[in-house]
Structure 1
Amino acid sequence: MTHLRQALPAAALLAALAGCTTSSPSSTSGPIEITPDASPPTATTEQGKVQAFMLRGNVVLGHESNSIQPCGSSQQYWLNTPIAARQAIAQITRPGYEPMYGEFIGYLEPAPDEGFAAAYDGRFQVKQINLISAEMLGGCQRPPHATRAFGNEPGWVIELDGDKANLIRPGQQRQQQVITSKEIVAGRQHYQGQGFSLTLTKGQCNDTMSDSLFGWQATLNWQGSNYNGCATLGATDITLSWSGRYQGTSYIDNTPVLTTTVTLNPDHSATTRYDYPSGEPSLNEVGFWQQASDNTVQVVMTQHQGRRLISERVFTFDDNRITVKEETVNGQTFSLGGDGLSLERQ
């Protein structure tokens, strides 16, 4: 089996095991639940359609480095920002590759095989900037914030907490109103209460009192008073329910021949490990994952045993298992047999 696995990609091995049975240890984990306020924007990658997600982390920008290190992670992804936003980003970027804090909505792709980006764990394609700041260096030490809008002259902050809107102004008591309706469409979010309305519109916005760039403009009417400013969406990655470890064992004639373990980490890195009950050396692959739809997840491996290899599986979640019927390796699609590969969440 070792010679077969070393000679063929994962898909080819599993195709060779087509018709074998697969089982997994029992698990007490509950089903994955993903309940965002609105459907995340979709993006089309070379590997297929995925849903963009929020990525927070420490950012380094310069001629030879455009990277983000996710909060609490050692991974580093090349950061590909929209061309239209680069001039505004350059205006707040400090010289000398000083780190900044950033929040971005986008998706992952494999790193290219040459150029500065080739040395990174992947490439994060930014669809929208939520915020980037040269001053919020401790952003990763704080929990993800809720959706909020703010402005100066006079200073004000409104934060959305569930069905409540809280307005804070210097020297005044906090005021709260119930959100009675909301409308969320591409590029615009509108929240309404009995005595207020808040509209967020996608667009670059600069805080005049800090070296920060925000991705939304805000207009607030609170009990007859009008305010204008910037805004950021809630910074929680709503796709993290997928993170965890999934495992299954393949059998031939009731004899276990291969145990496959897929681990999806909170920083969107992923690993696949192949263990052989016969005692032969394990094989390892590394890559990344991202949600493809409410019940599917794309897992892309970019290295097999330290060598570049681009493989993609799109797993479907059902009854505490993820299952896939085919795998695409370096552009070629392989069937994984009639039952496919089924892994149970641990």
Structure 2
Amino acid sequence: MRPSRFVLYSLLPLFAACQVWTPKSADLQSATRQQGEITRQGNTLLFTPCNEQRRFSIEDSGNTGIAREAANLFRDGGKVLFADMRGTFSGSSASGTDGKLGVDKLFRLQREGFGCDDPNFKRLIVRAGGNEPGWSVMVNSQGLLVQRPGQPQLALPYVVESLPDGSSSYSSEADGEKLELWVAPAHCVNDMSGTLSNLSATLHLQGQVMRGCAYPGAASGD
């Protein structure tokens, strides 16, 4: 299968006038992408969707390792975690909850960072970032934005190539800048924050190779 390839030219507005993404309501028997908070009650993980009061016990129906990953983050001092995942709700659960969430895919799990109130998430295709040196890239349908401490922001058009294995390349040679961002399915943990993501990331920029993690945004179709 040949990789898909298309060019995106428009850059304005890139990340302006964004609206906060609202997950679909927790409808029973519907597999949806959900974001919200995870807490512990004994040995049970409880999930509260963003902007809701209902609580659902978590079942790892997709063998995502969410219990192990959450335990690691709780062990490092977290009491409430932010989760971005896909799953199916049902009404069958232990007493004291509003049902059960069977998780089949885990996009992100974190103690800190962008959570329910991320204004860019609705339009994001992917967000990537890393440490030492610090860097971040946001990609949407109109362009990509590169941010680095002490450096001017770069807003560029890009070409994307998507491969059958789920990896993608976002590249640009506009405005005298040569850039390529590769993201690929992987268990990726930020070595400073402990945030777990489901994509690894490699950024080639100005002769440097910078590595980090990434996750898909709401506009990715995941």
* Amino acid paired to 2:39: V
Which residue pairs with 2:81 in the alignment? 100
Which residue pairs with 2:50 in the alignment? 71
Distance in 2, Cα, partners of 1:224 & 1:163: 25
Alignment of 1:111 with 2:94, yes or no, is: no
Aligned-residue CA RMSD (Å):
3.1
Distance 1:126 1:184, change over 3 A: farther
Alignment of 1:216 with 2:199, yes or no, is: yes
Conserved 8 A contact 1:56-1:140:
yes
Conserved 8 A contact 1:62-1:97:
no
Which residue pairs with 1:343 in the alignment? none
User: Residue deviations 1:241-277, cap 9 Å, x none?
Assistant: xxxxxxxxxxxxxxxxxxxxxxxxxxxxxxxxxxxxx
Distance in 1, Cα, partners of 2:33 & 2:163: 17
Aligned-pair CA distance for 1:162: 1.9
Aligned-pair CA distance for 1:202: 1.7
Q: Which has the higher strand share?
A: 1
Distance in 2, Cα, partners of 1:77 & 1:166: 36
Distance in 1, Cα, partners of 2:78 & 2:205: 41
Distance 1:102 1:237, change over 3 A: farther
* Amino acid paired to 1:110: S
Q: TM-score, normalised by structure 2?
A: 0.70
Conserved 8 A contact 1:55-1:237:
no
Aligned-pair CA distance for 1:210: 1.3
Distance in 2, Cα, partners of 1:187 & 1:63: 37
Gaps of 5+ in 2: 1-28
Distance in 2, Cα, partners of 1:231 & 1:61: 26
Conserved 8 A contact 2:64-2:104:
no
Q: TM-score, normalised by structure 1?
A: 0.47
User: Residue deviations 1:151-204, cap 9 Å, x none?
Assistant: 011111111132311111111111122112331656433323332222212222
- Share of identical aligned residues, percent? 24
SS in 2 for 1:72: coil
SS in 2 for 1:89: helix
- Between structure 1 and structure 2, the one with the greater Rg is 1
Distance in 2, Cα, partners of 1:209 & 1:110: 36
Alignment of 1:227 with 2:203, yes or no, is: no
Taking the TM superposition and a 5 Å limit, the aligned residue runs for 1:183-202 are: 183=162, 185=164, 187-194=166-173, 195-202=178-185
Conserved 8 A contact 1:103-1:235:
no
SS in 1 for 2:67: helix
For this pair of structures, how many residues does the alignment match?
186
Which residue pairs with 2:106 in the alignment? 129
Conserved 8 A contact 2:182-2:203:
yes
Distance 1:166 1:211, change over 3 A: same
Conserved 8 A contact 1:220-1:227:
yes
User: Residue deviations 1:4-54, cap 9 Å, x none?
Assistant: xxxxxxxxxxxxxxxxxxxxxxxxxxxxxxxxxxxxxxxxxxx6xx6x432
